[in-house]
Amino acid sequence: MPLRDISYVIHIASTPDQVWQALTGAKALQQNWGVIHSKWTPGARVEEVSDSGKLLWQGEVLEAEPGRHLSFTFDVVGSGEKPTNVSFDIAAPASATSPHEAVVRLTTTQSGFAEGSKLMPECARAWTEIMSSIKSYVETGKPLPFAWKH
């Protein structure tokens, strides 16, 4: 079966370190995604739990280069689908920016979906919301007002 990927690119008026903190900091993650636990070092466990403490997905950190790159496996509990890989790449934008202004390009990729995956459309929708909320959070200090319940 062919594999499929989701890729989402945004630009954030910020520094690589601030974007890294939004992707790995417990407070930022809770406000923009959910309750996610990890030490964010290669080999460390990563997991999201619901408001009631139920495990929603789990994985293992594959690579962690602060301010540059983070990747981990993503296995949705009870989905019956094989784990996928999630990666975040933080880089300079392709276009020039105004002098003394910080802008980063954040590329989010989830790869390894099997053809016909039932999770893929839901993940594609979720990434646009999560990354948009992270962008707002980093730039303004406020996440988008999604009423996510897990």
Within 8 A by CB and 6+ apart from 113, the residues are 3, 4, 5, 6, 81, 84, 119, 120, 123
pLDDT in the model for residue 68: 98
Residue that the structure tokens 């070092």 belong to: 41
Asked whether the whole model's pTM tops 0.85, one would answer yes
- As given in the structure block, the two tokens for residue 49 are 């739990």
Say how far apart CA 146 and CA 141 lie, in whole Å: 15
6-45 residue pLDDT tens: 999 999 999 999 999 999 999 999 999 999 999 999 999 9
Q: Is pLDDT of 1 > 60?
A: no
User: How far is residue 46's CA from residue 49's CA, in Å, rounded to a whole number?
Assistant: 10
- Tens of pLDDT, residue by residue over 39-59, are 999 999 999 999 899 999 999
Measured CA distances, 53 to 14, 47, 48 (Å):
33, 11, 9
